[in-house]
Amino acid sequence: MRRIGVDTGGTFTDFIFVSDGAIEVLKLPSTPRRPEAAFLTGVKKLLRSTDTDVEIVHGTTVGTNAVLERKGARTALLTTAGFEDVIEIGRQNRPGLYWLKASKPRPLVPRELRFGIRERVTSSGDVLVPVDESQLEMVADRLVALGVESIAVCYLFSFLRPEHEAQTAVRLQRLGLPISVSHRILPEYREYERTSTTVINAYLAPLMATYLRRMAEGLERLDEQGAEKRWCRLRLMQSNGGAISAEVAAEQPVRTVLSGPAGGVVGAYEVARRAGFARIITFDMGGTSTDVSLVDGAIRTTTEARVAELPIGIPVIDIHTVGAGGGSIARLDEGGALRVGPESAGADPGPVCYGIGRDLTVTDAHLILGRLDPHYFLGGQMTLDLARTEEHFAAFCRNFPSLGRTTAEAVAVAQGILDVANANMARAIKVISVERGYDPREFTLVAFGGAGGLHACDLAEMLSIPRVLIPENPGLLSALGVLLSDVVKDYSQTVMLPQAEIVPEKVDRWFIPLEERARQDLQAEGFSPSAIRFARYLDLRYVGQSFELSVPWSANAVEEFHRAHEQRYGYADRTRAVELVTVRVRAWGETEKPSFRARESAGPKPSPSAMWARRRVYFSTRPEETTFYRREELAPGNVLDGPAIVLEYSATTVIPPAWQGLVDAWGNLILQRKK
């Protein structure tokens, strides 16, 4: 079977095609106005020579961008009468404790589209007030009059008794609109997070359905010669690090909101594991943003993620994102200080050096410093406009009274842009490491994305990280990651059990129905029982706490919780009672994956064909004679002394003067400080 991994980013759309063990790679400019256009163009190029079955796994930013830009469907919310404003009231937490003008995010559903339905289930699951069906009929007519495009239904305690939500969905089916019910999306307590997650799903459902339909129609048109192609199911990457079918993604698009960054973490984890590194910090720097995640032996998920300050309660890989990328725009703020991002030039118009954009970006700064070869961008398929970039830098320097328009001053400004961007990204890494009790000095930084290799060593210096790993095709690692993912499904149920009942005979009865549902869902996606695996987890907390920590289910789960609490918060109280809040099942169907082989060492000296050029490059505003290498000509065992620049199709890697690179048996660049 041929398999294609596709990752759509803000600047480029990346493709990896695996066929009979061979790998073909492709990068195309993204098409933000019609994101499926770049997807279909790339797939068409890769499939020009095959007429066999093809499976496509796709990481997408369609859902993320729709929430960030508030461009989803006109959504209505039906909830228990009296709870219409839960989605607006939210939590009392303040994102900035000392902000004098702090404000809550505007809800996705305005007040006039929120309807309280007369029904009530008690906290023990008993029906107190049945659904008022006559009111439902009136609300249905009102929804049509208001031009609603999607509906979210979230009743109080529906995770204990879902009949009222199911009854409501049946009554509203005549409207022909997508309906998202909370007991299917997130059957857990905490009505604010459950409502928010269900609303986001409804907000994205029409958009994702349209996007997937256009892709499906485009795939059908690709066969211009009339030869029959049998397409496997199109799968989409989820935020939890696994894939789901296109049909499930259309029904539950909230699960794809962070799918692109999730693919990168999966890819980095697999690459690092093969190279012998279990403790890593992933650093994915693309054109518009940087995503970082900490992996301590296994990929971590969280149920406390937020997108555009809106909570999403489903499991997602624990990723922290900042608005710093190759396309991040440099500007002066009101006080005259240099700022970089979060605004990005994206793919259209792009950085100044691409020939159209007018705002200087991080990529332009690298070009001024000599770290990018203008004739070897995308492997020589794209030429960067150095003269145009120098003109824009000269104009930008006029904003600084102490500077003129000399080359040295342009270099100083370019270095300043990188310093600001590096500071933003270093703070992001501290959030997922130092602030959570982890020492960055004990981890390896796995850098990828189109711009990751340009900044990796600088960040390692700032945070005392001992080594950097740059995988092969780093600008395409997220596309590889989606191919390495299994089909993963998460299931949960709030149970609220005291510590005395956290025993197998009590807990197993909650796991069994979740696992049976998972088995049926995965078999419907074509997996045999032998290819299906399960993992059980418990969400535990001390009695009286408001939030939980998730630990694997075992006879020592309570002790594991104490240890996890001490790791996260710095203390544990083993004399205090623990309670079980939610049980979780993760189920996965094992997919076919690309295979990789280690290669024999060719010795420390690179071949002469690997050396592309030698020219002056600026490091901390100081010029250094630097060797440029072509990565495809490097072999395992080769040692590269800094300063050096490694060029390849999908990215560029900077090895500073005090650093040294080694090509390992898997083709990774392992960068460390010179001894």
**How far apart are alpha carbons 247 and 233 in whole angstroms?**
9
Query: Mapping DSSP to helix (H, G, I), strand (E, B) and coil, where does residue 207 land?
Result: helix
Torsion of CA 15, 17, 21, 23, to 10 degrees: -50
pLDDT tens column, 78-114 = 999 999 999 999 988 777 778 887 778 899 999 999 9
Per DSSP bridges, beta strands 179-181 and 114-117 are unpaired
Distances (CA, A) of 251 to 206, 209, 245: 9, 8, 10
- Strand stretches in 30-124, DSSP E: 54-59, 75-80, 114-117, 120-121
**How far apart are alpha carbons 307 and 197 in whole angstroms?**
10
**pLDDT of 32 above 90:** no
**How far apart are alpha carbons 445 and 289 in whole angstroms?**
17
**pLDDT of 360 above 90:** yes
Report the 3 state secondary structure along 378-403.
HHHCECCCHHHHHHHHHHHHCCCCCC
- What's the pLDDT band for 663 if we cut at 50, 70, 90? very high
pLDDT tens column, 419-449 = 999 999 999 999 999 998 899 999 999 999 9
Mean pLDDT of the region 122-140: 94
Q: CB neighbours of 247 closer than 8 A, spacing ≥ 6?
A: 233
Q: Among 216, 594, 645, 316, which residue's Cα sits nearest to residue 456?
A: 645
State the pLDDT at residue 675.
83
Q: Within 13 Å and on the Cβ side, how many CA atoms surround 79?
A: 24
pLDDT tens column, 259-268 = 888 999 999 9
Q: Among 585, 569, 572, 605, which residue's Cα sits nearest to residue 537?
A: 585
**pLDDT of 402 above 70:** no
- What's the pLDDT band for 1 if we cut at 50, 70, 90? low
Torsion of CA 204, 210, 212, 214, to 10 degrees: -160
Q: What is the largest CA-CA distance in the chain?
A: 81
**pLDDT of 500 above 50:** yes
- What's the pLDDT band for 480 if we cut at 50, 70, 90? very high
**pLDDT of 653 above 90:** yes
Percent of the residues in the chain that have a pLDDT greater than 90, as a whole number: 67
Distances (CA, A) of 149 to 138, 143, 177, 202, 502: 17, 9, 6, 9, 44
Lowest mean pLDDT among 149-163, 372-386, 649-663: 372-386
Query: Mapping DSSP to helix (H, G, I), strand (E, B) and coil, where does residue 498 land?
Result: strand
State the pLDDT at residue 226.
47
- What's the pLDDT band for 216 if we cut at 50, 70, 90? confident
pLDDT tens column, 576-608 = 999 999 999 999 998 887 778 889 999 999 999
Mean pLDDT of the region 10-20: 84
Q: Find the helix or strand (DSSP H, E) in which 328 lies.
A: strand 328-332
- What's the pLDDT band for 9 if we cut at 50, 70, 90? confident
Highest mean pLDDT among 57-61, 505-509, 655-659: 655-659
Question: Taking the CB of residue 528, how many other CB atoms lie within 10 A of it?
Answer: 10
Per the DSSP assignment, residues forming a β-bridge with 595 are none
Lowest mean pLDDT among 206-215, 336-345, 508-517, 632-641: 336-345
Query: Mapping DSSP to helix (H, G, I), strand (E, B) and coil, where does residue 523 land?
Result: helix
pLDDT tens column, 616-648 = 999 988 999 999 999 999 999 999 998 999 999
**pLDDT of 612 above 50:** yes
| Burial of 74 (C-beta count, 10 Å sphere; 0-12/13-18/19+) | middle
Mean pLDDT of all residues in the chain?
A: 90
Buried b (16+ CB within 10 A) or exposed e, 626-652: bbbbbbeebbbbbebebbbbbbbbbbb
**pLDDT of 198 above 60:** yes
